[in-house]
Structure 1
Amino acid sequence: MQPPNKLGEAPISSLFFQYYIPALTSILSVTLHQVINGIILGQQVGKEGLAAVGLYGSVIIVFIALTLPVMIGGGILIGRNIGAGDYSEAQKIFNFATTLAILFGCMVALSTPFIVKPLAGFLAGANHEVLVRNTSDYMFWQFVGLPFFFLRMFWGNFVSNDGAPKVSRNASVLAVACNIVLDVLLIIVFPFGVAGASVATALSILISTAFIFLYIKKQKGHLSFGNFKFTLQLKTWKELANFGLPSFASEISFSSGLLIINHSIVSYGALAVSAFGLVNYISFIFIRLLTSAMIASLPIISFNIGAKLPGRVQEVLKFALTFTFVVGLLITAAGFAFPDLLVVLFSGEETAEFKKVAGGATSLYFLLFLAAGGNYILGAYFQSIGKAAISVLINVLKGIVLIAFFLMILPGYFNMGLNGIWLSRSLAEILTLLLIGCYTLFHKEKYFSKNAILSRQE
């Protein structure tokens, strides 16, 4: 076992980047794989193959939303218990989460032969025979591999909270490399089509999971398989659910918000819908710079709460807020200064009309980055100190409530049309940060004081 990590001692700035860079590398490597995978599948199978993967995306979002409370909540509790020196309690949480991942994953995997075709028909439409077949083929192997997918999610987050963020990063990079090689092998060399792409992804996740398994088995951290036992008993399960609830709310609200924006754009025609798809895709890439900061902050905050070092928690919060604001400001500036360049870079040669619509959308939509980082960091902070209600409120306000509000008044009442739709998410992010910031600063003692940080630890 390694000596105690330096989460409670190292300078906050250097510690932050020790977690930020692996998190960003891991996320960007997955993004790169998605691009390459899309190119290979699109070229070899066609739009029906890509559509099948896209339809499965709506299913996996549901699974991720259901498991996020355990992954995030468990990670926070593990970090806090390690910080407090209670390694046996951290191990119990690890045992519980691992058991849950295997049980839930196996239940879905065993039911795969009976549910994939009806589900594919529901998603693709029973009359679209080719798309139903492709979607069914892709979902089959993804469902079979779900136990490993869940374990990869849980273990990767847990070892990061146990002071080893590079292990999760290396596992992600390994998975991406394997997936690209297997895509070439199972789609191009052996033309297994969509099923081959699905098998390639499932095997890559299995290899990535095995990599983390071997790390934990070597007992280099505080979690181990030597003390492992299958159990669904956890006395702190309510606390785990409380810590994880904001992540569930975030995923559901975010998905719902995008759906209602997309629905509002439909009446403006195919060109506007295509522009939204492109701008949303570009924003997903840039938003990873901010979500990586949130991921980097959580283990440091959790450990120092457990170690009863509230001053360091306050330092992390201030540093992360400042960092994400500066990054967000730079991204927003790029959206205003070079919207046409971004559109051409990610869409290639398109009509002048499309570039005009997408360029205008980029300038307005990118205003969200002024506040998105602050909302992510504050949400993670409140989540970590046990203020689940305020964290859920942030996610629900910015994800769906304020978006719906602005969509009701900007396009029609203020005659802003399509520009009002582009602004809806940006204004939702900004207003959420202003409302929550003002409220919590007014009640500073309740949310930001040292007593507030340690209130759940006494």
Structure 2
Amino acid sequence: MENKQPQTAPADVRENIMGTMDINPLLIKLSVPMMISMLVQALYNVVDSIFVSHVSENALTAVSLAFSLQNVMIAVGVGTGVGVNALLSKSLGEKDQARANKTAENGIFLSLCSYAVFLLIGLTCMKPYFYAQTSDMDIARQGILYLSICCVLSLGLFTQTTGEKLLAATGRTHLSMISQLVGAVVNIVLDPIFIFGYCGEALSGTTGAAVATVIGQFCGAGMTLYFNLNKNPDIQISFRGFRPSAKAIGRIYTVGLPSIAMQCVGSVMTFFMNQILMAFSATAVAVFGVYFKLQSFVFMPIFGMNNGMVPIISYNYGARRPERVKKTIRLAVFYAECIMLVGFCIFQFLPDKLLSLFAASDAMLAIGIPALRIICPHFLLAGAGIVLSSVFQALGNGVFSLTVSICRQLVVLIPAAWLLSRTGEVNMVWWSFIIAEVVSLTLSLIFMARINRTVIVPLYEEQDAAV
């Protein structure tokens, strides 16, 4: 594969908009397309669950139980892409075109390696994974069919996530948005066709949901390949004579591994929460699964904004422009809190309307309405913490992000949920989210103070010394 696009000026003589454009319009320019992309990604997940919920509550529970491993797969793809994004942007900020190209090429290579791992998992680990969570044969059967297809045919997912990060790293988030939209539209159109049996019973139900998902991912992947090879002059991708670079891969995973681990921690949390809630009922597990799908509409726009924010911070960190770094952080936190406030209001005042999208039974409404109302105040605490975690990654301190995530989801959330479950009241379990977020935000602020003292302030000192 070789880039056919016209050659442009190398990075050492070409200035990137991330170093020249005013921060507020730049953050909006880069973030809005990514926010739309992430909302579309949330729609991907929610539409599957909405259609599947009309098949049966067992089907919805099966998809909910599949989420933990499915999220690990997404974590590997996105986390690797985060490492590529940050390193590529920093290289462009330092005007090092050769390193930027090598980072992109090794990122694509890593996406293929990731696919090979999950192909093997999909062929060997599905039955043990589901039977560890449920003894219900019907739920396990539907989940195994769904997740096997998603893993075995995950090449589209890994190709798409890497391609989108390459576009985002060079400021072309509108192209990333288009590729995401193409994949999502294909998935949404195909979902009812497959799930409700219009292509035959063998491709109906959860199997149909999985097939529609992977077809959408392959379509999105095709778009990212086209855009990067033909519309992205900031990197020149060529695999002629390519050899994997241990140094480049090491740099990518120095930033990316904490991100992968951080999202995998979320999968571990989900797995154990499902165990805690299954002691109450399968309906409680379904409610938890629905909550995760719904909350993605609140969190995903902030993740999208972070995808626009990271290359700005990384570029200006590499270019030694601390004021632009700090202004980007302040604006991102402000916008994140505004988004979280909207999400809080919707979950607090319209929980029944949200649950009705999933054909909720009376039992599901009885558990779900108080659950959404109890959990949603933690949104107001989470906004700043989510932004700061990405700031740590952008400045090369991904371990701080990982530490915060582990403390929130494993050290605090799961033990709190288990202790509260001992009361015998499922509604008490939901309070663990707020407890965990208080600890998480406190720790994030402590780490940010250290980052400011050890990373950002020295940049000002360098400027003063240069003058």
Q: TM-score range by the shorter chain?
A: 0.7 to 0.9
**Which residue in the other structure is 1:17 paired with?**
28
SS of match in other structure, 1:449: helix
Contact 1:304-1:312 at 8 Å conserved across structures: yes
CA displacement at 1:90 relative to structure 2: 0.8
The AA in structure 2 aligned to 1:89 is R
Identity rate, percent: 20
Task: State the distance in 1 between where 2:168 and 2:222 align.
Answer: 16
Q: How does 1:198-347 map to 2 (within 5 A)?
A: 198-226=210-238, 229-269=241-281, 272-336=284-348, 338-343=349-354, 345-347=356-358
Task: State the distance in 2 between where 1:453 and 1:409 align.
Answer: 49
**Which residue in the other structure is 2:5 paired with?**
none
**Which residue in the other structure is 1:164 paired with?**
172
Aligned in 2, Cα 1:154/1:262: closer, same or farther, shift over 3 Å?
Answer: same
Contact 1:41-1:50 at 8 Å conserved across structures: yes
CA displacement at 1:272 relative to structure 2: 4.5
Task: State the distance in 2 between where 1:399 and 1:33 align.
Answer: 24
Q: Unpaired runs of 5+ in structure 1?
A: none
CA displacement at 1:453 relative to structure 2: 11
State the Cα deviation string for residues 250-293 of structure 1 (Å, max 9, x = none): 11222222333343334445564454444343323222232222
The AA in structure 1 aligned to 2:95 is G
CA displacement at 1:332 relative to structure 2: 2.8
Q: How does 1:48-197 map to 2 (within 5 A)?
A: 53-54=63-64, 56-106=66-116, 109=119, 116=123, 118-125=124-131, 137-139=145-147, 141-183=149-191, 186=194, 188-191=197-200, 192-194=202-204, 195-197=207-209
Task: State the distance in 1 between where 2:40 and 2:335 align.
Answer: 22
The AA in structure 2 aligned to 1:360 is P
Contact 1:79-1:161 at 8 Å conserved across structures: yes
The AA in structure 2 aligned to 1:65 is A
Task: State the distance in 2 between where 1:233 and 1:443 align.
Answer: 30
CA displacement at 1:318 relative to structure 2: 0.8
CA displacement at 1:434 relative to structure 2: 1.9
SS of match in other structure, 2:414: helix
Contact 2:381-2:437 at 8 Å conserved across structures: yes
**Which residue in the other structure is 1:404 paired with?**
414
CA displacement at 1:317 relative to structure 2: 0.6
State the Cα deviation string for residues 202-247 of structure 1 (Å, max 9, x = none): 3332222221212222253222334665322142433322211321
Task: State the distance in 1 between where 2:431 and 2:460 align.
Answer: 35
**Which residue in the other structure is 1:430 paired with?**
438
The AA in structure 1 aligned to 2:97 is Y
CA displacement at 1:135 relative to structure 2: 5.1
State the Cα deviation string for residues 272-327 of structure 1 (Å, max 9, x = none): 44544443433232222322222221121112122222211111111111221233
Contact 1:75-1:158 at 8 Å conserved across structures: yes
Task: State the distance in 1 between where 2:63 and 2:421 align.
Answer: 33
**Which residue in the other structure is 2:3 paired with?**
none
CA displacement at 1:433 relative to structure 2: 0.9
CA displacement at 1:89 relative to structure 2: 0.3
State the Cα deviation string for residues 1-50 of structure 1 (Å, max 9, x = none): 4864311122212111222221221122233343444455565x656665
Contact 1:447-1:453 at 8 Å conserved across structures: no
Aligned in 2, Cα 1:405/1:33: closer, same or farther, shift over 3 Å?
Answer: closer
CA displacement at 1:409 relative to structure 2: 5.5
Task: State the distance in 1 between where 2:22 and 2:71 align.
Answer: 36
Task: State the distance in 2 between where 1:146 and 1:349 align.
Answer: 30
The AA in structure 2 aligned to 1:86 is D
Moved more, 189-198 or 130-139: 130-139
Contact 2:167-2:232 at 8 Å conserved across structures: no
Q: RCO higher in 1 or 2 (8 Å CA, sep ≥ 6)?
A: 2
CA displacement at 1:342 relative to structure 2: 4.5
The AA in structure 2 aligned to 1:359 is I
Task: State the distance in 1 between where 2:266 and 2:462 align.
Answer: 30
Contact 2:321-2:459 at 8 Å conserved across structures: no
**Which residue in the other structure is 2:4 paired with?**
none
Task: State the distance in 1 between where 2:61 and 2:282 align.
Answer: 17
TM-score of the aligned structures, taking structure 1 as reference length: 0.84
Aligned in 2, Cα 1:60/1:332: closer, same or farther, shift over 3 Å?
Answer: closer
TM-score of the aligned structures, taking structure 2 as reference length: 0.82
Task: State the distance in 1 between where 2:245 and 2:40 align.
Answer: 36
Task: Pick one of 433, 454, 458 that aligns with 1:446.
Answer: 454
Contact 2:45-2:293 at 8 Å conserved across structures: no
Pairing 1:367–2:377 present? yes
State the Cα deviation string for residues 151-205 of structure 1 (Å, max 9, x = none): 2111111111011111111011111222234445555442141555444433332
CA displacement at 1:92 relative to structure 2: 0.5
CA RMSD of aligned residues (A): 3.5
Task: State the distance in 1 between where 2:179 and 2:269 align.
Answer: 32
Aligned in 2, Cα 1:176/1:435: closer, same or farther, shift over 3 Å?
Answer: closer
Task: State the distance in 2 between where 1:269 and 1:128 align.
Answer: 12
CA displacement at 1:431 relative to structure 2: 2.1
Aligned in 2, Cα 1:36/1:445: closer, same or farther, shift over 3 Å?
Answer: closer
Moved more, 275-284 or 147-156: 275-284
The AA in structure 2 aligned to 1:300 is I
State the Cα deviation string for residues 76-118 of structure 1 (Å, max 9, x = none): 0001111221111011011112122224424654x58xx63x5
SS of match in other structure, 2:17: coil
SS of match in other structure, 1:235: helix
**Which residue in the other structure is 1:28 paired with?**
39
The AA in structure 2 aligned to 1:9 is T
The AA in structure 2 aligned to 1:122 is P
